[in-house]
Amino acid sequence: MGNCTQCIVKRLNALRNLSHEELERFSEHKTSLIIKKGENLMTEGSAINGLYCINQGKCKLTKLNTNGKEQIIKFIKGGDILGHRSILSDEPVGLNVTALEDMRVCFIPKGDILDVIKENSQFSLSIMKNISHQLNEANSLVSEMAQKPVKDRLATIIINLNDIFGSDSEGFIDIILTREEIANTIGTATESAIRLLSNLKKDKIIDLKGKKIKILDINSLKNISEGY
């Protein structure tokens, strides 16, 4: 996947704070991986020995709840990094990371990451900000799951998906999710998610084409998300 010094993906994450020499060091030691759709990049409870930089593709971060049902916590796209929290805490991976489509990923060994964290204060600060942002997102998710009705949560996730992935040439959100995955994101039964999506389509707030979703009325969707 080329040299880290020439990779445009680094502009989107903490790696932009690295010097040319530090990026060269990463290039010498990194491993390039292809993760097929449906495969796990990281598995909950496993040890991690490095940082993953997503070069291309999309994935979901999930956790199994007490009854064995999958809860989708977050979606990731190209440009994001994964594994830094476990590297710093020296703890096992807390979530499963599963490819939603074929992914191109670079793996940078833990030793190189820790060395640069010690040497480069801007990189360290960026990593800390990223972890803090993730913690804030987790707190918001807990609050929403506890307080918002399912319809409001669905509206929120549709808006978030559009913000994260943008739209394709036809105006549909540029990610393909099953109805079960949508249900697992908002914490409801698949049948309930299907019914709520159909209602939003009937009200001309969204359009559906197979598994694709298009936002037709963003203002109405935001009002639902905010409980109006």
The pLDDT of residue 9 is 63
| pLDDT confidence tier of residue 75, bands split at 50, 70 and 90 | very high
| pLDDT confidence tier of residue 68, bands split at 50, 70 and 90 | confident
* Percentage of residues in the chain having pLDDT higher than 70: 94
Helix crossing, 110-119 with 20-29: angle to 10°? 170
The predicted model gives 52-72 an average pLDDT of 88
How crowded is residue 227: how many other Cβ atoms within 10 Å of its Cβ?
Answer: 11
- Which pLDDT tens digit goes with each residue over 89-107? 888 888 999 999 999 999 9
Q: Is the pLDDT of residue 44 over 70?
A: yes
The predicted model gives 176-189 an average pLDDT of 93
Residues in the chain: 228
Q: Identify residue 124 by its one-letter amino acid code.
A: S
Tokens representing residue 180 in the block: 């079960």
How crowded is residue 117: how many other Cβ atoms within 10 Å of its Cβ?
Answer: 17
Tokens representing residue 194 in the block: 């299907």
pLDDT mean across residues, the chain: 89
User: Mind listing the domains of the chain with CATH numbers?
Assistant: 4-120 (2.60.120.10), 146-225 (1.10.10.10)
The pLDDT of residue 127 is 85
Distances (CA, A) of 63 to 52, 86, 146, 183: 19, 15, 17, 14
